[in-house]
Amino acid sequence: MHLVDSHCHLDDKQFAEDRDAVIERAREAGLKYVLGIGTGDGPPDLEAAIRIADAIPFVLATVGVHPNDAPKLDSNYTFSHLKDLLAHPKVVAIGEIGLDYHWGVPKEMQEPLFRHQLEIAAEAGMPVVIHTRDAFEDTLAILREQWAPTKLPCVMHCFTGDTRQAEECLGLGFYLAFGGVTTFPKADSIREAARITPVDRLLLESDAPYLAPVPHRGKRNEPAFLTHTAATIAAVRNESPEQLARETTANFKSIFGRKIN
């Protein structure tokens, strides 16, 4: 059984002491690909995931500026550097980008950053990976206006909405990526969203080192734990884990396939 982790922060400092072992456990757990998210600590460094991907054959990379890093933006350098990095052979998307109202970064700083990165992705014909926290309606309004018309792939990372929000995203042709939260006892609405997601619009992710699934909840997450998330979602959808693995791997290739062997 081959799984794909569509969202992981392998560059995170929590992996500094045992990154090689984490990667080996991911391989042993059956992960075929891992998508490393390249927002890192924010500008000026946009190459956090590229460094990992260059060293590990089955790791791919994104580049982008997280909304919480909007205050670090150097508009004279960051965007031009971002465009240059899209030519890297391991870079398959721009992300994670979006809106996050949880930590108090001014909306007036986040929205132009979000919109400009969407413009860059559209010009390059590349997928986007979307982060939204406490900002779903505003995030979706921008995507509806600016991204949906492009018909390019859009992944709603770590989807934790309800069925109404899922249907809104699916109606725009977006993909929903589900992670460890899906395994939490009180996450019935998220499991229902995973259940109703069409087979060709579903992805799995770890978001490691964050949001470890049951039975590792509260500990550092890692890609190998994706097997627990897959088992939970497969059961909810009345599928075998093997079938879910095939479907989500096919979706990953459909989105990011132009640079996948």
pLDDT reported for residue 75: 85
210's tokens: 């964050």
Q: State how many domains the chain has.
A: 1
Average pLDDT value for residue range 33-39: 97
**Cis peptide before 209, with omega less than 30 degrees from 0?**
yes
Spatial separation of the C-alpha atoms in residues 27 and 59, rounded to whole Å: 11
Per residue in 151-198, pLDDT (tens digit) is 999 999 999 999 999 999 999 999 999 999 999 999 999 999 999 999
pLDDT of 259 higher than 80: no
What's the predicted TM-score (pTM) here? 0.96
pLDDT at 47: 97
The domain of 168 spans 3-259
* pLDDT attached to residue 253: 96
Q: How many residues are recorded in the chain? A: 261
Q: Residue 54 — φ and ψ, nearest 5°?
A: -65, -30
CATH number at residue 144: 3.20.20.140
Confidence category of residue 261, pLDDT binned at 50, 70, 90: low
pLDDT digits (tens, 9 = 90+) for 197-235: 999 999 999 999 999 999 999 999 999 999 999 999 999
**Strand order across the beta sheet in which 59-63 lies:** 3-8, 31-36, 59-63, 91-100, 128-133, 154-156, 175-178, 202-204
